[in-house]
Amino acid sequence: MTTYVEAAAKKKRMPGVIPLHGEEGFAGMRKAGALTAEVLDLIVPMVEPGVPTAKLDRFVYEFARDNGAAPATLNYRGYRYSTCTSINHVVCHGMPGEKPLREGDIVNIDVTLIVDGWHGDSSRMYPVGEISRKAERLIEITYESLRLGIEAAKPGNTTGDIGAAIQRYAEGERASVVRDFVGHGLGRLFHDEPNIMHFGNPGTGVELKPGMIFTIEPMINLGRPQVKILNDGWTAVTRDRTLSAQCEHSIGITETGNEIFTLSPRGLFNPLEARNDP
Protein backbone atom coordinates (compact mmCIF):
# COMPACT_ATOMS: atom_id res chain seq x y z
CA MET A 1 0.00 0.00 0.00
CA THR A 2 1.28 3.46 -0.93
CA THR A 3 1.02 6.41 1.44
CA TYR A 4 1.75 10.04 0.55
CA VAL A 5 3.02 12.34 3.31
CA GLU A 6 4.31 15.88 3.60
CA ALA A 7 8.05 15.77 3.05
CA ALA A 8 8.80 17.63 6.29
CA ALA A 9 7.25 14.76 8.25
CA LYS A 10 9.61 12.18 6.79
CA LYS A 11 13.18 11.83 8.08
CA LYS A 12 14.19 8.46 6.64
CA ARG A 13 13.22 6.13 3.83
CA MET A 14 10.21 3.99 4.60
CA PRO A 15 8.85 1.47 2.09
CA GLY A 16 5.69 2.67 0.40
CA VAL A 17 5.77 6.12 2.05
CA ILE A 18 6.24 8.81 -0.59
CA PRO A 19 7.06 12.40 0.41
CA LEU A 20 5.30 15.29 -1.31
CA HIS A 21 7.39 18.46 -1.41
CA GLY A 22 6.21 22.05 -1.41
CA GLU A 23 7.88 25.18 -2.73
CA GLU A 24 10.73 24.92 -0.23
CA GLY A 25 11.68 21.52 -1.60
CA PHE A 26 11.42 22.62 -5.22
CA ALA A 27 13.54 25.71 -4.48
CA GLY A 28 16.18 23.58 -2.76
CA MET A 29 16.24 21.12 -5.63
CA ARG A 30 16.58 23.90 -8.20
CA LYS A 31 19.70 25.15 -6.44
CA ALA A 32 21.25 21.69 -6.01
CA GLY A 33 20.32 20.62 -9.53
CA ALA A 34 21.74 23.78 -11.08
CA LEU A 35 25.12 23.31 -9.39
CA THR A 36 25.28 19.67 -10.45
CA ALA A 37 24.44 20.61 -14.03
CA GLU A 38 27.08 23.34 -13.98
CA VAL A 39 29.92 21.01 -13.01
CA LEU A 40 28.83 18.47 -15.63
CA ASP A 41 28.99 21.28 -18.20
CA LEU A 42 32.49 22.25 -17.08
CA ILE A 43 33.69 18.67 -17.52
CA VAL A 44 32.77 18.55 -21.23
CA PRO A 45 36.05 19.98 -22.63
CA MET A 46 38.07 17.94 -20.13
CA VAL A 47 36.93 14.55 -21.46
CA GLU A 48 39.66 13.74 -23.96
CA PRO A 49 41.92 10.81 -24.87
CA GLY A 50 44.72 10.48 -22.33
CA VAL A 51 42.79 12.01 -19.42
CA PRO A 52 42.38 9.73 -16.38
CA THR A 53 38.94 9.67 -14.81
CA ALA A 54 40.60 10.33 -11.44
CA LYS A 55 41.39 13.83 -12.74
CA LEU A 56 37.71 14.43 -13.47
CA ASP A 57 36.81 13.12 -10.03
CA ARG A 58 39.24 15.53 -8.35
CA PHE A 59 37.80 18.40 -10.37
CA VAL A 60 34.27 17.61 -9.17
CA TYR A 61 35.43 17.38 -5.56
CA GLU A 62 37.23 20.73 -5.75
CA PHE A 63 34.30 22.39 -7.53
CA ALA A 64 31.89 21.17 -4.84
CA ARG A 65 34.21 22.32 -2.04
CA ASP A 66 34.69 25.75 -3.62
CA ASN A 67 30.92 26.21 -3.99
CA GLY A 68 29.85 25.19 -0.51
CA ALA A 69 28.56 21.80 -1.63
CA ALA A 70 29.48 18.18 -0.95
CA PRO A 71 29.56 15.13 -3.27
CA ALA A 72 26.91 12.72 -2.00
CA THR A 73 28.78 9.62 -3.13
CA LEU A 74 31.99 10.42 -1.23
CA ASN A 75 32.15 7.96 1.70
CA TYR A 76 28.61 6.78 0.93
CA ARG A 77 28.47 3.18 2.18
CA GLY A 78 32.23 3.01 1.84
CA TYR A 79 32.45 4.45 -1.69
CA ARG A 80 35.60 6.59 -1.92
CA TYR A 81 34.92 8.90 -4.86
CA SER A 82 33.02 12.07 -5.72
CA THR A 83 31.71 10.67 -9.02
CA CYS A 84 30.89 7.44 -10.78
CA THR A 85 32.69 7.10 -14.13
CA SER A 86 31.36 4.19 -16.19
CA ILE A 87 33.26 3.40 -19.39
CA ASN A 88 32.05 1.39 -22.40
CA HIS A 89 30.54 -1.88 -21.06
CA VAL A 90 30.35 -0.59 -17.48
CA VAL A 91 26.65 -0.05 -16.76
CA CYS A 92 26.99 2.10 -13.62
CA HIS A 93 29.01 2.74 -10.45
CA GLY A 94 32.34 2.65 -12.25
CA MET A 95 35.17 3.88 -10.01
CA PRO A 96 37.47 6.71 -11.13
CA GLY A 97 41.09 5.71 -11.62
CA GLU A 98 44.42 6.67 -13.16
CA LYS A 99 43.96 4.65 -16.36
CA PRO A 100 43.64 7.19 -19.20
CA LEU A 101 40.58 7.42 -21.40
CA ARG A 102 41.14 6.17 -24.93
CA GLU A 103 40.00 7.41 -28.33
CA GLY A 104 36.61 5.86 -29.07
CA ASP A 105 35.57 5.32 -25.44
CA ILE A 106 32.20 6.44 -24.16
CA VAL A 107 31.92 7.35 -20.49
CA ASN A 108 28.98 8.10 -18.24
CA ILE A 109 29.77 10.60 -15.49
CA ASP A 110 27.30 10.58 -12.62
CA VAL A 111 27.37 13.38 -10.04
CA THR A 112 25.20 14.13 -7.02
CA LEU A 113 25.94 17.35 -5.16
CA ILE A 114 24.43 18.20 -1.78
CA VAL A 115 23.58 21.89 -1.50
CA ASP A 116 22.00 23.14 1.74
CA GLY A 117 20.90 19.59 2.44
CA TRP A 118 19.29 18.97 -0.96
CA HIS A 119 20.57 16.42 -3.49
CA GLY A 120 20.99 17.29 -7.16
CA ASP A 121 21.56 14.06 -9.11
CA SER A 122 22.38 13.83 -12.82
CA SER A 123 24.52 11.93 -15.31
CA ARG A 124 25.53 12.30 -18.94
CA MET A 125 27.30 10.36 -21.68
CA TYR A 126 30.59 11.83 -22.90
CA PRO A 127 32.28 10.73 -26.15
CA VAL A 128 36.07 10.44 -26.01
CA GLY A 129 37.41 11.69 -29.33
CA GLU A 130 35.84 10.06 -32.38
CA ILE A 131 33.51 7.21 -31.47
CA SER A 132 31.93 4.44 -33.52
CA ARG A 133 28.54 4.75 -35.13
CA LYS A 134 27.17 1.97 -32.90
CA ALA A 135 28.28 3.94 -29.83
CA GLU A 136 26.66 7.09 -31.22
CA ARG A 137 23.45 5.19 -31.86
CA LEU A 138 23.39 3.81 -28.33
CA ILE A 139 23.80 7.29 -26.88
CA GLU A 140 21.03 8.62 -29.13
CA ILE A 141 18.67 5.83 -28.01
CA THR A 142 19.48 6.43 -24.35
CA TYR A 143 18.81 10.16 -24.48
CA GLU A 144 15.57 9.67 -26.38
CA SER A 145 14.55 7.05 -23.80
CA LEU A 146 15.07 9.59 -21.03
CA ARG A 147 13.13 12.25 -22.93
CA LEU A 148 10.17 9.92 -23.40
CA GLY A 149 10.30 8.87 -19.75
CA ILE A 150 10.20 12.49 -18.62
CA GLU A 151 7.35 13.21 -21.05
CA ALA A 152 5.31 10.49 -19.33
CA ALA A 153 6.03 11.90 -15.85
CA LYS A 154 2.93 13.96 -15.08
CA PRO A 155 0.16 13.94 -12.49
CA GLY A 156 -2.40 11.21 -13.02
CA ASN A 157 0.08 8.93 -14.75
CA THR A 158 1.96 6.18 -12.94
CA THR A 159 5.53 5.05 -12.51
CA GLY A 160 4.63 2.20 -14.86
CA ASP A 161 3.82 4.73 -17.59
CA ILE A 162 7.38 6.08 -17.31
CA GLY A 163 8.91 2.63 -17.55
CA ALA A 164 6.64 1.54 -20.38
CA ALA A 165 7.54 4.58 -22.48
CA ILE A 166 11.24 3.89 -22.06
CA GLN A 167 11.01 0.15 -22.66
CA ARG A 168 8.76 0.46 -25.70
CA TYR A 169 11.13 2.83 -27.43
CA ALA A 170 14.46 1.22 -26.48
CA GLU A 171 13.38 -2.30 -27.39
CA GLY A 172 11.86 -0.98 -30.60
CA GLU A 173 15.36 0.24 -31.47
CA ARG A 174 16.74 -3.28 -30.80
CA ALA A 175 18.43 -2.26 -27.56
CA SER A 176 17.69 -3.55 -24.05
CA VAL A 177 16.77 -1.94 -20.74
CA VAL A 178 18.72 -2.84 -17.60
CA ARG A 179 16.43 -4.18 -14.86
CA ASP A 180 18.87 -4.31 -11.95
CA PHE A 181 19.10 -0.56 -11.29
CA VAL A 182 16.31 1.99 -11.11
CA GLY A 183 15.61 5.67 -10.56
CA HIS A 184 14.63 6.78 -7.08
CA GLY A 185 13.03 9.47 -5.01
CA LEU A 186 15.34 12.10 -3.61
CA GLY A 187 15.40 15.47 -1.88
CA ARG A 188 16.95 15.76 1.55
CA LEU A 189 17.48 12.00 1.30
CA PHE A 190 19.85 10.66 -1.37
CA HIS A 191 17.64 7.64 -2.04
CA ASP A 192 13.95 7.71 -1.20
CA GLU A 193 10.62 6.35 -2.37
CA PRO A 194 9.46 5.60 -4.98
CA ASN A 195 11.62 3.39 -7.16
CA ILE A 196 11.38 4.40 -10.83
CA MET A 197 11.76 1.35 -13.03
CA HIS A 198 12.71 1.94 -16.66
CA PHE A 199 10.50 -0.88 -17.90
CA GLY A 200 6.96 -1.95 -17.11
CA ASN A 201 3.31 -1.73 -18.09
CA PRO A 202 1.20 1.40 -18.53
CA GLY A 203 -1.11 2.18 -15.63
CA THR A 204 0.79 0.09 -13.10
CA GLY A 205 2.93 1.12 -10.15
CA VAL A 206 2.56 4.26 -8.09
CA GLU A 207 0.33 7.17 -9.10
CA LEU A 208 2.29 10.36 -9.76
CA LYS A 209 1.17 13.35 -7.69
CA PRO A 210 2.34 16.99 -7.54
CA GLY A 211 5.21 17.35 -5.10
CA MET A 212 6.92 14.05 -5.87
CA ILE A 213 10.64 14.39 -6.63
CA PHE A 214 12.69 11.61 -8.19
CA THR A 215 15.30 10.67 -10.78
CA ILE A 216 14.77 9.03 -14.15
CA GLU A 217 18.01 7.38 -15.26
CA PRO A 218 17.59 4.69 -17.92
CA MET A 219 20.52 2.35 -18.53
CA ILE A 220 20.40 0.99 -22.06
CA ASN A 221 22.53 -1.84 -23.46
CA LEU A 222 23.31 -2.66 -27.08
CA GLY A 223 23.19 -6.34 -26.18
CA ARG A 224 21.30 -8.22 -23.50
CA PRO A 225 20.02 -6.52 -20.31
CA GLN A 226 21.82 -8.76 -17.81
CA VAL A 227 24.58 -7.28 -15.65
CA LYS A 228 27.04 -8.54 -13.06
CA ILE A 229 28.81 -6.83 -10.16
CA LEU A 230 32.60 -7.02 -10.06
CA ASN A 231 34.58 -8.05 -7.00
CA ASP A 232 34.94 -4.43 -5.83
CA GLY A 233 31.27 -4.59 -4.86
CA TRP A 234 30.32 -1.54 -6.89
CA THR A 235 31.16 -1.76 -10.59
CA ALA A 236 28.30 -3.18 -12.68
CA VAL A 237 29.11 -4.42 -16.20
CA THR A 238 27.15 -6.01 -19.02
CA ARG A 239 27.41 -9.79 -18.88
CA ASP A 240 27.90 -10.00 -22.65
CA ARG A 241 30.49 -7.17 -22.68
CA THR A 242 28.41 -5.02 -25.02
CA LEU A 243 28.28 -1.25 -24.69
CA SER A 244 26.01 0.38 -22.13
CA ALA A 245 24.87 3.98 -21.73
CA GLN A 246 22.93 6.00 -19.15
CA CYS A 247 21.66 9.53 -18.71
CA GLU A 248 19.79 11.01 -15.77
CA HIS A 249 17.78 14.00 -14.66
CA SER A 250 16.25 14.91 -11.30
CA ILE A 251 12.64 16.07 -11.73
CA GLY A 252 9.65 17.17 -9.68
CA ILE A 253 6.00 16.55 -10.51
CA THR A 254 4.01 19.78 -10.80
CA GLU A 255 0.28 20.48 -11.14
CA THR A 256 0.56 20.46 -14.94
CA GLY A 257 3.54 18.23 -15.72
CA ASN A 258 7.06 18.24 -14.36
CA GLU A 259 10.07 20.45 -13.68
CA ILE A 260 13.59 19.30 -14.55
CA PHE A 261 16.05 20.47 -11.89
CA THR A 262 19.27 19.44 -13.64
CA LEU A 263 18.98 21.18 -17.00
CA SER A 264 22.32 22.13 -18.56
CA PRO A 265 22.86 25.91 -18.37
CA ARG A 266 25.02 25.76 -21.52
CA GLY A 267 22.93 23.33 -23.54
CA LEU A 268 25.48 20.55 -23.07
CA PHE A 269 23.36 17.85 -21.44
CA ASN A 270 24.16 15.62 -24.43
CA PRO A 271 27.83 16.46 -25.15
CA LEU A 272 27.74 14.35 -28.32
CA GLU A 273 24.75 16.25 -29.72
CA ALA A 274 26.32 19.58 -28.77
CA ARG A 275 29.58 18.64 -30.48
CA ASN A 276 27.79 17.60 -33.68
CA ASP A 277 25.77 20.82 -33.93
CA PRO A 278 26.94 23.03 -36.83
Determine whether the annotation assigns residue 184 to a binding site: yes
Q: What is the number of other CB atoms lying within 10 angstroms of the CB of residue 76? A: 13
110 is in an annotated binding site: yes
> CB neighbours (10 Å) of residue 52?
15
In terms of residues, how long is the chain?
278
Query: If phi over 0 gives left and psi between -120 and 50 gives alpha, with beta otherwise, what is residue 88?
Result: left
Q: Rounded to an integer, what distance in angstroms lies between the CA atom of residue 61 and that of residue 74? A: 9
**Phi, then psi, of 260 in degrees rounded to 5:** -90, 120
Q: If residue 184 lies in a helix (H) or strand (E), which one and from where to where?
A: strand 183-185
Known binder of ligand: residue 191? yes
Beta bridge partners of 195: 184
Gap between the Cα atoms of 216 and 187, Å rounded = 14
C-beta of residue 34 within 8 angstroms of C-beta of residue 122: no
Q: How many helices (H) and strands (E) are present in the chain, helices listed first?
A: 5, 17
Single-letter amino acid code for the residue at 195: N
**Binding-site residue ranges for a divalent metal cation:** 110, 121, 184, 217, 248
Extract the annotated binding site: 93, 110, 121, 184, 191, 217, 248
Numbered residues of the known binding site for substrate = 93, 191
